[in-house]
């Protein structure tokens, strides 16, 4: 077959090309021809197809995402915002922290182990590319019904992939979530996050500037795995015949990645890099076009110099391959030899594949023949922009009118007790230890809080004990009832979780998981959720530093619940003052902070007891969330609370069960006068937390709450070996522990 060169493409304008098979629309193909003033070569068509995919170009979502930059001003902590591999914030003492959450949903359904493992590898390289040492990972997960046979196929593989890759890298897994719902049956959500630490002066950006600087590809050899993987696979809807497309899923090697990390950090230390980009979605197509687009010139690449695992790969396949553990660096000529020496020391393959030019084009050659000649911005940053139609679905009113507050409630203390045990033992409220015990949460020795705490926390300076906390949260049931409020509740819960540990919330990353953007109802959900999140970040003063959009999460016509997952990063001056969830000291006083209303829409109780989803989610009061956070942070810093736990899924009773079981101490409780015990225990009103206060600190604590106007109600005392609600019921901790811990091993183990 004749090589499809630029010259040949110009001479054969009518040659048929497989643009539709590569996921391009007819008007997109026409636009490419307009940009180039000719038909594209096969290699150019491959590049545009992956870079203009939904996953890489955000063509359906970017018109809505711009609100994050328009509405939310960058605060003093922001060092790098949206547009780079990951955001960077100042956490004091000369340190900067970079963090991000991304999705690897579709690959993880098709090949659970490798899909999840390479999701971890990809997000770690994003953090590394900013100049930071990765220090911890988190993983928000969503699966189908816990008792569905396919969940037993997907979940163990995903968990093993996350644990296997992260553990081999020596990175503690400090947080995340595991949620089960039938809506995720054919579309599990495997989101992965990472935190990295660096000094301010070590920040690196993805740009190729300086004519004559060399382009060095280093890391693993390029293979046939992952061709059209994340970029194309995540840009279409599954059908009933899936899972297929196994070759499109990348294959990871964590030991190669560990070498790549140490090698990269050493070349950073010696200041050998002028620009850097990891190779993730869209592989070399992305790395070369983004580096050139963000730089001040052009780039020339000799594609036949790329080290291969499979010598039969075509130029198009090399450009599209998403093989893992690869990076691309821009290096000044006089530093190339030292760069290559360090790579050889770490047994990392490194090859000069091109150079930065003083032109304006990205030019790629194959054995001397030019196969790509494109304006790099047209590939990387000027893809299609869709203003997709969106409309509030006609079923939304009926869904909201189906009020969960009208569901039958327990009528006796015995029935209330039984429903508590039923909720505590349900898959979503049950202990996830079977899963999290497969992750190394304490490697490196700097983890101070990890699952099942409200947020993970790591020490980043051993002398001063400066630390950072990260929490990820999202409730698809709330977002289905009201996407605007649901996104705000996700942010509020993550914000509250960070504050409950004593850390001050600083900034946000997000992973927005939705169905097909071609469905106006889904696009309405996305538009509302994005608007809600931007408005809430504006109110709380927490800028969005970056994130990810994952669309087409649906099988046939059935979309997942809209699931905006929000990660909040916080800073704490001294990790020794952190606040855990455990009630560890008998005799301490239990206080409920915030107001409890009759809010059961989307609640765990309505799901578990009645298999019901309807009504409205809890109301959002962002100023109350801010006030609650200030109280929790002050109580932690000044030693006024020994334990704190936010109230969310399952309400007060779920938080009490977790705090009691974690600390091995029971609680004696009194329902406040005039309050329905059922609402008291099961309501999921937002803006609330439960704390245990030493008796010696009670007056100081209540004075602080009173002075700031936060309702603080004394509801009991840490005591005994049961949860005893006066006049209602008593449940021994042993019975609660059995109910809480047996479910997941019984279903999955």
pTM of the model: 0.95
Q: Is 550 annotated as a binding residue?
A: yes
CA-wise closest residue to 730 among 410, 421, 409, 411: 421
pLDDT digits (tens, 9 = 90+) for 549-558: 999 999 888 9
Q: Is 548 annotated as a binding residue?
A: yes
Residues forming beta bridges with residue 64, ordered by sequence position: none
The mean-pLDDT minimum among 73-87, 219-233, 517-531, 582-596 falls in 219-233
Same fold for the pair 64-380 and 579-749? yes
Residues 11, 14, 17, 19: what is their CA dihedral angle, to the nearest 10 degrees?
110
- Report, as an integer, the average pLDDT of 385-405: 97
List C-alpha distances in Å: 336 to 212, 216, 276.
12, 9, 14
Q: Is 103 annotated as a binding residue?
A: yes
Looking at the predicted structure, is the pLDDT value of residue 59 above 90? Answer: yes
Q: Is 106 annotated as a binding residue?
A: yes
- Report, as an integer, the average pLDDT of 61-65: 95
CA-wise closest residue to 274 among 218, 210, 212, 337: 210
Looking at the predicted structure, is the pLDDT value of residue 636 above 50? Answer: yes
Domain 64-380 class, CATH top level: alpha beta
- Report, as an integer, the average pLDDT of 431-449: 94
What's the pLDDT band for 115 if we cut at 50, 70, 90? very high
DSSP secondary structure string for all residues of 335-388: GHHHHHHHHHHTT-EEEEEEEEESSS-EEEEETTEEEEEE-HHHHHT-------
In the numeric block, the tokens 């579709």 are attached to 106
CA-wise closest residue to 545 among 59, 54, 97: 97
Q: Is 104 annotated as a binding residue?
A: yes
Given the candidates 3.20.20.450, 3.90.650.10, 3.40.50.800, 3.30.450.20, the CATH classification of the domain at 579-749 is: 3.90.650.10
- Report, as an integer, the average pLDDT of 91-117: 94
Edge-to-edge order in the sheet of strand 133-143? 78-80, 87-92, 95-103, 189-199, 133-143, 173-180
pLDDT at position 246, please? 38
pLDDT at position 208, please? 80
203 CB neighbour count, 10 Å cutoff: 16
Q: Is 311 annotated as a binding residue?
A: no
List C-alpha distances in Å: 195 to 99, 132, 471.
4, 9, 11
The average confidence (pLDDT) of the chain is: 94
Q: Which residues are catalytic?
A: 55, 104
What is the distance between the alpha carbons of residues 522 and 534, in angstroms, rounded to a whole number? 18
Looking at the predicted structure, is the pLDDT value of residue 329 above 70? Answer: yes
pLDDT at position 484, please? 98
In the numeric block, the tokens 């801010």 are attached to 626
In the numeric block, the tokens 């950072």 are attached to 468
Q: The tokens of 595 are what?
A: 């107001």
What is the distance between the alpha carbons of residues 667 and 133, in angstroms, rounded to a whole number? 42
- Report, as an integer, the average pLDDT of 95-104: 95
Q: Is 465 annotated as a binding residue?
A: no
The mean-pLDDT minimum among 243-252, 629-638, 646-655, 689-698 falls in 243-252
400 CB neighbour count, 10 Å cutoff: 15
697: DSSP letter: G
- Reply yes or no: is the peptide bond before residue 91 cis, omega within 30 of 0: no
The mean-pLDDT minimum among 1-10, 325-334, 579-588 falls in 1-10
pLDDT digits (tens, 9 = 90+) for 205-254: 878 888 999 999 999 999 987 775 444 444 455 444 443 343 557 788 99
3-state secondary structure of 632: helix
pLDDT at position 209, please? 83
Q: Is 612 annotated as a binding residue?
A: no
Q: Which residues, other chains included, contact 237 with Cβ-Cβ below 8 Å and sequence gap of 6+?
A: 515, 516, 552, 554, 555, 556
Q: Where are the alpha helices (DSSP H) in 211-358?
A: 254-269, 283-294, 315-320, 336-345
- Report, as an integer, the average pLDDT of 604-631: 98
Cα four-point dihedral sign 105, 110, 112, 113: negative
Looking at the predicted structure, is the pLDDT value of residue 48 above 50? Answer: yes
End-to-end CA distance of the chain: 52
The mean-pLDDT minimum among 23-27, 39-43, 295-299, 586-590 falls in 295-299
pLDDT at position 231, please? 45
Looking at the predicted structure, is the pLDDT value of residue 1 above 80? Answer: no
The residue ranges of every structural domain in the chain are: 6-54, 64-380, 579-749
Q: The tokens of 673 are what?
A: 């006068």
Q: Is 191 annotated as a binding residue?
A: no
Q: Is 250 annotated as a binding residue?
A: yes
pLDDT digits (tens, 9 = 90+) for 278-325: 998 889 999 999 999 988 889 999 999 999 999 999 999 999 999 999
- Report, as an integer, the average pLDDT of 113-138: 95
pLDDT at position 239, please? 46
Asked whether 278 and 326 are in contact (CB, 8 A), the reply is yes
78 CB neighbour count, 10 Å cutoff: 17
Q: Please give the distance of CA 679 from its chain centroid, rounded to a whole number.
A: 32
Q: Is 309 annotated as a binding residue?
A: no
Q: The tokens of 473 are what?
A: 């949260």
Q: Is 547 annotated as a binding residue?
A: yes
What is the distance between the alpha carbons of residues 293 and 377, in angstroms, rounded to a whole number? 5
- Report, as an integer, the average pLDDT of 76-98: 91
Looking at the predicted structure, is the pLDDT value of residue 678 above 50? Answer: yes
What is the distance between the alpha carbons of residues 347 and 363, in angstroms, rounded to a whole number? 30
- Report, as an integer, the average pLDDT of 63-74: 87
pLDDT at position 230, please? 44
Q: Which span out of 67-76, 288-297, 593-602 was modeled with the highest average pLDDT?
A: 593-602
Residues 66, 67, 70, 72: what is their CA dihedral angle, to the nearest 10 degrees?
-130
pLDDT digits (tens, 9 = 90+) for 681-694: 999 999 999 999 99
Edge-to-edge order in the sheet of strand 214-219? 275-278, 326-331, 214-219, 349-357, 298-302, 362-366, 369-374
Q: Which residues, other chains included, contact 337 with Cβ-Cβ below 8 Å and sequence gap of 6+?
A: none
CA-wise closest residue to 548 among 187, 126, 251, 146: 126
């Amino acid at each position: 077959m004749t090589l499809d060169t630029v010259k040949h493409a110009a001479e054969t304008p009518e040659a048929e090309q497989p643009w539709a098979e590569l996921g391009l629309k007819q008007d997109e193909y026409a636009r490419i021809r307009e940009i180039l003033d000719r038909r594209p070569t096969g290699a150019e068509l491959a590049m545009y197809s992956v870079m203009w995919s939904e996953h890489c170009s955000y063509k359906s979502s970017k018109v809505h995402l711009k609100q994050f930059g328009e509405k939310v001003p960058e605060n003093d902590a922001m060092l790098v915002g949206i547009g780079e591999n990951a955001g960077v914030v100042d956490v004091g003492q000369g340190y900067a922290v970079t963090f991000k959450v991304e999705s690897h949903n579709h690959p993880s359904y098709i090949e659970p182990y490798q899909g999840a493992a390479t999701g971890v590898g990809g997000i770690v390289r994003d953090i590394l590319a900013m100049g930071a040492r990765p220090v911890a990972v988190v993983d928000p997960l969503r699966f189908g019904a816990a008792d569905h046979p396919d969940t037993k196929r997907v979940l163990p593989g995903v968990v093993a992939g996350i644990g296997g890759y992260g553990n081999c890298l020596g990175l503690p897994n400090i947080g995340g979530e595991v949620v089960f719902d039938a809506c995720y049956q054919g579309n599990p959500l495997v989101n992965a996050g990472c935190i990295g630490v660096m000094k301010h002066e070590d920040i690196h950006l993805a740009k190729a500037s300086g004519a004559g600087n060399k382009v060095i590809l280093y890391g693993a050899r390029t293979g046939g795995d992952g061709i059209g993987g994340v970029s194309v696979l995540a840009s279409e809807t599954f059908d009933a015949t899936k899972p297929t497309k196994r070759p499109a899923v990348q294959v990871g090697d964590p030991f190669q990645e560990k070498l790549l990390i140490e090698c990269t950090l050493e070349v950073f230390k010696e200041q050998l890099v002028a620009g850097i980009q990891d190779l993730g979605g869209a592989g070399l197509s992305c790395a070369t076009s983004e580096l050139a687009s963000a730089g001040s010139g052009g780039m020339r690449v000799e594609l036949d110099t790329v080290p291969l695992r499979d010598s039969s790969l075509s130029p198009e396949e090399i450009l599209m391959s998403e093989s893992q553990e690869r990076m691309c660096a821009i290096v000044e000529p006089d530093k190339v030899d030292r760069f290559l020496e360090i790579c050889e020391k770490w047994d990392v393959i490194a090859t000069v594949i091109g150079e930065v030019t003083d032109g304006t084009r990205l030019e790629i050659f194959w054995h001397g023949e030019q196969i790509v000649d494109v304006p790099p911005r047209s590939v990387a940053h000027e893809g299609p922009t869709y203003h997709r139609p969106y409309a509030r679905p006609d079923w939304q009113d009926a869904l909201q009118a189906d009020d969960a507050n009208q569901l039958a409630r327990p009528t006796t203390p015995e029935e209330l007790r039984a429903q508590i045990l039923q909720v505590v033992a349900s898959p979503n409220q049950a202990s996830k230890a079977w899963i999290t015990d497969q992750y190394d949460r304490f490697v490196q020795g700097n983890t101070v809080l990890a699952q099942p705490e409200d947020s993970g926390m790591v020490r980043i300076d051993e002398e001063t004990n400066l630390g950072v906390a990260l929490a990820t949260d999202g409730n698809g049931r709330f977002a289905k009832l009201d996407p605007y409020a649901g996104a705000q509740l996700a942010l509020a819960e993550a914000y509250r979780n960070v504050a409950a540990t004593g850390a001050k919330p600083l900034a946000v990353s997000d992973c927005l998981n939705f169905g097909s953007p071609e469905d106006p109802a889904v696009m309405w959900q996305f538009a509302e959720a994005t608007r809600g999140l931007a408005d809430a970040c504006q109110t709380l003063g927490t800028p969005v530093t970056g994130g990810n959009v994952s669309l087409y999460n649906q099988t046939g016509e059935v979309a997942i619940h809209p699931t905006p997952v929000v990660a909040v990063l916080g800073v704490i001056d001294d990790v020794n003052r952190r606040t855990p969830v455990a009630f560890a000291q008998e005799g301490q006083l239990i206080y409920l902070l915030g107001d409890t209303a009759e809010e059961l829409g989307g609640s765990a109780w309505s799901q578990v007891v009645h298999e019901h989803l309807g009504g409205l989610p809890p109301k959002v009061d962002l100023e109350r969330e801010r006030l609650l956070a200030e109280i929790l942070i002050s109580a932690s810093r000044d030693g006024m609370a020994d334990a704190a736990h936010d109230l969310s899924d399952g309400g007060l009773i779920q938080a009490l069960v977790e705090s009691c079981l974690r600390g091995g101490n029971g609680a004696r409780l009194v329902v406040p006068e005039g309050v329905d015990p059922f609402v008291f225990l099961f309501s999921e009103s937002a803006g609330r937390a439960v704390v245990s206060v030493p008796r010696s600190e009670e007056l100081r604590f209540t004075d602080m709450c009173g002075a700031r106007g936060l309702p603080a109600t004394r509801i009991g005392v840490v005591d005994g070996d049961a949860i005893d609600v006066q006049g209602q019921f008593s449940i021994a901790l042993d019975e609660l522990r059995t109910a809480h811990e047996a479910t997941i091993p019984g279903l999955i183990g």
